[in-house]
Amino acid sequence: MSLCSKPGINRQDSTGIVQEDIHKKLVERCIRGERNAQFELYKLYSKAMFNICCRMLNNRTDAEDMLQEIFSDAFVRLQSFRFDSTIGAWLKRITVNKCINEINRRKTKLEYVEEVPEIINAEEEEKMGISVDKVKNAMEVLPNGSRIVFSLYLLEGYDHEEIGQILNISESTSKTQYMRAKQKVKEILISQGYETR
């Protein structure tokens, strides 16, 4: 299940019983300042947030530094968490925003993929037998802007309207950049000799 989905937040399950956020008690303990609860929350979400940082910043060392900053900030701001989303979705939003702010702070120009060569047809796409790790490796060579759009849409589950708001681009630009980045990733994988099934 995606971190941005909302499992059990004040909604009825199939039996009609209203459920709570599965980590509500843990978050409440964190708000009270319980260090072991904070460590438990960190263990639950640090890997997912680290992966987002890696994909967005494209540098492991920067991602490690950013992860510490994210959780420090999150624990300070936890009093403002109102349980209107899951804690995972809240942490994810902080992570994405802090990564975008860091990219902007460095004044890194967000370059986008300009050219779209011949599109691989749907039949070829279905035959691609390629692991997520290979896709992530191919993503690393994309220009910053395209890599971020591709990551936010495909791996983090944001829609194009949300990506447009996060990156301050139009929804259609987000869609175009995603399609171009997707095509470029396919080309990179093919050029690296990954065979179709």
Query: For the ranges 2-6, 54-58, 134-138, 167-171, which has the lowest average pLDDT?
Result: 2-6
Per-residue model confidence as pLDDT tens digits over 84-135:
889 999 999 999 999 988 887 876 555 555 544 443 333 444 444 566 777 7
Question: How high is the pLDDT of residue 3?
Answer: 38
Domain boundaries, the chain: 11-105, 122-191
CB 138 within 8 A of CB 181: no
Per-residue model confidence as pLDDT tens digits over 135-156:
778 888 888 888 888 888 887 8
122-191: CATH class: mainly alpha
Question: How high is the pLDDT of residue 16?
Answer: 44
Q: Is the CATH number 3.40.50.11440 carried by domain 11-105? A: no
Question: How high is the pLDDT of residue 113?
Answer: 53
Asked whether this chain's domains 11-105 and 122-191 adopt the same fold, the reply is no
Rounded to whole angstroms, the Cα distance separating 121 from 147 reads: 22
**Rounded alpha-carbon distances, angstroms, from residue 22 to 9, 85, 119:** 8, 11, 43
Whole-prediction pTM: 0.63
Per-residue model confidence as pLDDT tens digits over 154-179:
878 888 988 888 888 899 988 988 88
Question: How high is the pLDDT of residue 110?
Answer: 57
Instruction: Grade residue 35 by pLDDT with cuts at 50, 70 and 90.
Output: very high
Q: What is the signed CA dihedral for 30, 35, 37, 39, rounded to 10 degrees?
A: 120
Average pLDDT of the segment spanning 56-74? 93
**Residues near 177 by beta carbon (within 8 Å), at least 6 away in sequence:** 112, 113, 145, 146, 149, 150, 169
Check pLDDT > 50 for residue 56.
yes
